[in-house]
């Protein structure tokens, strides 16, 4: 009997959402436990898929655990799911973050039923993006996530929450319009919505070069808004700053990765000639992301906004690795996305603890918190070490792989210059992380923070899980890089780079 494992990773959170939304008389505590179970099971399923994934060379680039049902025969649309070496790490990351987000949300007491229902729907939608292999299904999941995200920011957020939620929706809709245009062009040219089939199709035989370039640009713009890439980045700091802590963790941990994943899956794999043609321009944007993002991070006085801008800088490394178009560089870009999801998820989670317990988020008004919150300080410092790419952390191995792979790829002219410029991001990261640690946790303690509570058991638990994941990947990266490489290898082979 074939068990639809991938469908379970989507269906179980949706089932949990429906149970929470429509079952009367559920207490807030029961709702939280139902949500925990509805995210724990998909995590276990994804671990089972991870363990059962065939890593042999003969299966490189081949979709596994596939599920396919005819959905809309009139337009050749199918309910089609599958994972390969590229998508499997993101499936695992999404279910991992989803489970921890429920723990991070344990103290939510405002409209508990609606909050957890929206979180579970968001979890299902993001999961669907990474495992859908039909373009229509992919697009539906891509757009579905904006509904719960809007309500989660607008209702449970802070500050200008309605403004930030609406700004997020408008940017996402704009990106979705570009993506839909690209999908329609491909469909009218080929009659297919099958992503795997289109990757294996020589599109130059059915589309003119100008139309291929336009389609590539449409897809890139849609994905660049989500990553985000300068100058489409302005929604991110607002959304992060005003979102509740758990939603910031989802946003940084998995939602941004949709853009990078799709660039590899669609821009690089389906349009190799156009990717090579546009790579120099995109690499300029990568350098801007890294340097501008890092520099403006140094100017932030809001601790959440600081971490948000740091994400823009780190996503520049992802863009560099992808459009260096080398096998090692693209493996590094994928690993960087996974690592960033873990490290920045940890930072946002522990910053939420600081804000909740101290009732302060302005860095100049904080100080000396290591005296009152020693466990919180240690957790933040460990997360900061990962963000600075200190050896033994996942941030180190990810960034080293990106830089070494990009510098040696030999596919794009002048790639060494772009790589060396992006190295400045490491110095900027060290500057803003160390300065933040010094200003927030050290120095003279403020009298008003006397008696502030430290991280409790639940907060220590999810922090330890994040930290363990960061060090496991940092110390033994093969646990995930071998799988990523099996998905990247056939894509990189088209470019002939190393």
How many independent structural domains does the chain possess?
1
In a domain, 28, yes or no: yes
**Residue 447 pLDDT:** 80
pLDDT at residue 498 in the model: 62
Q: Give me the average pLDDT of each 10-residue run along the chain (498 residues).
A: 89 96 92 96 96 84 92 94 96 97 93 96 97 96 95 92 93 95 95 92 87 96 93 90 92 92 96 94 96 93 91 94 95 96 95 90 89 92 94 96 93 91 94 92 82 90 96 95 94 82
CB-CB neighbours of 53 under 10 Å = 17
Query: Could you tell me if residue 498 is inside a domain?
Result: no
Tokens of 102: 């429920």
Q: Answer yes or no: is 221 within a domain.
A: yes
Residue 367 lies in a domain: yes
Q: Which residue range(s) make up the domain with 470?
A: 5-493
Phi, psi (rounded to 5 degrees) for 80 = -130, 120
Q: What is the pLDDT of residue 33?
A: 96
Q: What is the DSSP track for 319-367?
A: HHHHHTT-HHHHHHHHHHHHHHHHHHHHHHHHHHHHHHHHS--BGGG--
In a domain, 423, yes or no: yes
The answer as to whether 440 is a domain residue is yes
pLDDT computed for residue 335 by the predictor: 97
At residue 497, the pLDDT reads: 62
User: Distance between CA 272 and CA 261 in Å, rounded?
Assistant: 15
Phi–psi pair at 190, nearest 5 degrees: -120, -20
Q: At which residue do the structure tokens 């279910």 appear?
A: 95
Is-cis flag, bond preceding 228, omega within 30?
A: yes
Query: Is 146 within a domain?
Result: yes
pLDDT at residue 240, rounded to an integer:
87
């Amino acid at each position: 009997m074939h068990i639809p494992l991938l469908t379970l990773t989507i269906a179980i959170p949706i089932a949990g959402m429906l149970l929470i939304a429509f079952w009367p008389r559920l207490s807030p505590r029961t709702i939280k436990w139902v949500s925990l179970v509805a995210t724990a099971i998909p995590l276990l399923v994804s671990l089972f898929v991870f363990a059962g994934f065939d890593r042999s060379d003969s299966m490189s680039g081949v979709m596994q655990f596939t599920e396919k049902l005819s959905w809309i025969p009139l337009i050749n649309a199918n309910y089609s799911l599958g994972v390969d070496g590229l998508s499997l790490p993101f499936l695992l990351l999404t279910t991992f973050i989803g489970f921890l987000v429920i723990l991070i949300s344990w103290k939510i007491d405002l409209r508990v039923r609606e909050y957890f229902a929206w979180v579970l729907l968001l979890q299902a939608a993001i999961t669907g993006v990474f495992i859908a292999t039909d373009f229509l299904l992919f697009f539906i999941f891509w757009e579905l996530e904006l509904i719960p995200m809007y309500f989660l920011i607008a209702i449970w957020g802070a500050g200008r929450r309605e403004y930030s939620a609406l700004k997020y929706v408008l940017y996402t809709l704009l990106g979705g319009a570009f993506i839909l245009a690209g999908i329609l062009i491909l469909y009218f040219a080929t009659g297919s919505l099958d992503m795997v089939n289109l990757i294996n199709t020589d599109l130059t035989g059915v589309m003119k070069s100008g139309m291929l370039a336009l389609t590539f640009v449409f897809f890139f713009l849609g994905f660049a808004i989500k990553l985000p890439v300068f100058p489409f980045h302005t929604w991110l700091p607002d959304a992060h700053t005003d979102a509740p802590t758990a939603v910031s963790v989802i946003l940084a941990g998995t939602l941004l990765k949709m853009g990078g994943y799709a660039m590899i899956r669609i821009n690089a794999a389906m349009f190799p000639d156009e990717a090579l043609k546009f790579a120099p321009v995109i690499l300029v944007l990568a350098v801007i992301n890294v340097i501008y993002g890092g520099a403006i991070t140094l100017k932030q006085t809001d601790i959440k906004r600081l971490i948000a801008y740091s994400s823009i800088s780190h996503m520049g490394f992802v863009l560099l690795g992808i459009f260096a178009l080398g096998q090692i560089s693209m493996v590094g870009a994928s690993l960087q996305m996974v690592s960033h999801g873990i490290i920045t998820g940890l930072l946002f989670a522990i910053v939420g603890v600081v804000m909740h317990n101290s009732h302060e988020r302005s860095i100049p008004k904080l100080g000396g918190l290591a005296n009152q919150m020693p466990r919180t300080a240690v957790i933040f410092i460990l997360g900061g070490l990962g963000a600075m790419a200190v050896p033994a952390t996942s941030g180190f191995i990810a960034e080293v792989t990106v830089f070494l792979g990009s510098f040696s790829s030999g596919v794009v002219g002048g790639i060494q210059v772009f790589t060396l410029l992006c190295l400045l991001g490491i110095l900027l990261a060290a500057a803003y992380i160390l300065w933040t640690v010094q200003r927030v946790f050290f120095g003279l303690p403020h009298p008003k923070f006397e008696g502030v509570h430290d991280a409790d058991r639940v907060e220590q638990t999810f922090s330890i899980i994040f930290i363990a994941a960061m060090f496991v990947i940092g110390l033994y990266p093969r646990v995930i890089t071998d799988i990523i490489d099996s998905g990247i290898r056939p894509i990189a082979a088209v470019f002939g780079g190393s």
